[in-house]
Amino acid sequence: MKLSDYQLKNKIILVTGANQGIGKAASIRYASLGAKVILLGRNLESLEQVYDEIIKLKYNEPMISLMDLEKADGNDYQAIHENLMNEFGKLDGLLLNASILGDRSPIAHYDSETWARTIHVNLTAQFLLVKSLLPALYESDSASVIFTSSGVGKLGKAFWGAYSVSKFGVEALSQILSSEHEDQVNIRFNCINPGATRTKMRKEAYPYEDEMKLKKPDELMDKYTWLMSDESKKITGQSIDCQ
Ligand code: NDP
């Protein structure tokens, strides 16, 4: 299927961690297909760079939502929902992409504070965001929620600690939500696993790897687009591998 077949015209899509890596590539691709993209992240300067890039390409003007998922409280989640409803009256797509690596160390030596922070950003914040945005997603004719998983979200591996546990949790959260909405045809929940991709996080996890052998975020975007578009309307509760 050609990329042009995946139309996202007039869709309102929120992407977390939109300032770099896979989130940035998805934001630009979604905007190129006609979506209005809300760029969520904690670093204003790099979010503005993505905003400028989208404007320069003459795609739909995006919006910036400044939010630190580590520090956000109930008011922040309520505000993001209210702003969305006031501005658009609905949300059609949610790409839950932001996450942190935590420590790469054995459980015996895993730092407790890093454990709590990693579980919070990678799992609890995803729950809080999706929970607060469900009413806006229900207003869409066809909403797609995409959680970001990992190979270590399906198979526990030494030294992946809280990151792996958080990704297992994300897989469960997606399946639970899918099952809870099995009678609702206008909303679906899936996971995507990008696989080894040339980003800052990958470099942090594998500092000695030859990154030139890895796919760039842009090269994964057909699957990201398909899962966000109405082409995947019947797909729910699945975990999709990109590579
Ligand atoms: P990056 O490190 O490039 O991107 C991570 C994103 O998450 C950044 O935009 C980062 O923002 C954001 N983020 C982290 N903490 C917070 C926070 N507290 N509040 C708001 N935003 C935050 O990594 P990738 O692009 O590789 O990762 C994207 C997703 O893909 C992640 O969920 C990752 O687990 C997953 N993944 C990646 C793989 C890979 O090989 N690259 C393999 C498997 C899964 P900031 O720039 O401010 O830090």
Q: Is 6 part of the annotated catalytic residue set?
A: no
Query: In the structure, what pLDDT confidence band is assigned to residue 7 with cuts at 50, 70 and 90?
Result: confident
* Beta pairing partners, 144: 93, 188
CA of residue 185 to ligand 1 center, whole Å: 30
Query: What was the pLDDT predicted at 16?
Result: 98
87 CB within 6 A, ligand 1: no
Q: Which of 229, 237, 240 is nearest to 26 (CA)?
A: 229
Please choose from 15, 16, 20 the residue to mutate so as to test ligand 1's pocket, defined by most ligand atoms within 8 A of CB. Answer: 20
68 CB within 6 A, ligand 1: yes
The dihedrals phi and psi of 64, each to the nearest 5 degrees, come to: -105, 135
126 CB within 6 A, ligand 1: no
Q: What is the pLDDT of residues 138-164, one digit of tens each?
A: 999 999 999 999 999 999 999 999 999
CA of residue 64 to ligand 1 center, whole Å: 17
The dihedrals phi and psi of 240, each to the nearest 5 degrees, come to: -105, 125
Q: What is the pLDDT of residues 221-233, one digit of tens each?
A: 999 999 999 999 9
Q: What is the pLDDT of residues 178-220, one digit of tens each?
A: 999 999 999 999 999 999 999 999 999 999 999 999 999 999 9
Which residues neighbour 134 within 8 Å (Cβ) at sequence distance 6 or greater?
Answer: none
Half-sphere exposure of 77 (CA within 13 A, CB side): 18
CA of residue 98 to ligand 1 center, whole Å: 4
Query: Which ligand 1 atom sits nearest the alpha carbon of residue 17?
Result: 9
123 CB within 6 A, ligand 1: no
Q: Residues 28, 31, 35, CA angle at the centre, nearest 5°?
A: 150
Tell me what the pLDDT averaged over the chain comes to.
96
203 CB within 6 A, ligand 1: no
Q: Locate 168 and state its tokens.
A: 């297992």
Query: Which ligand 1 atom sits nearest the alpha carbon of residue 98?
Result: 7
Please choose from 40, 42, 124 the residue to mutate so as to test ligand 1's pocket, defined by most ligand atoms within 8 A of CB. Answer: 42
201 CB within 6 A, ligand 1: yes
Selecting from 3.90.1150.10, 3.40.50.1360, 3.40.50.720, 3.40.640.10, what CATH number does the domain 3-232 have? 3.40.50.720
Query: Which ligand 1 atom sits nearest the alpha carbon of residue 96?
Result: 32
- Of the residues 6, 30, 163, 224, which is catalytic? 163
Q: What is the pLDDT of residues 21-40, one digit of tens each?
A: 999 999 999 999 999 999 99
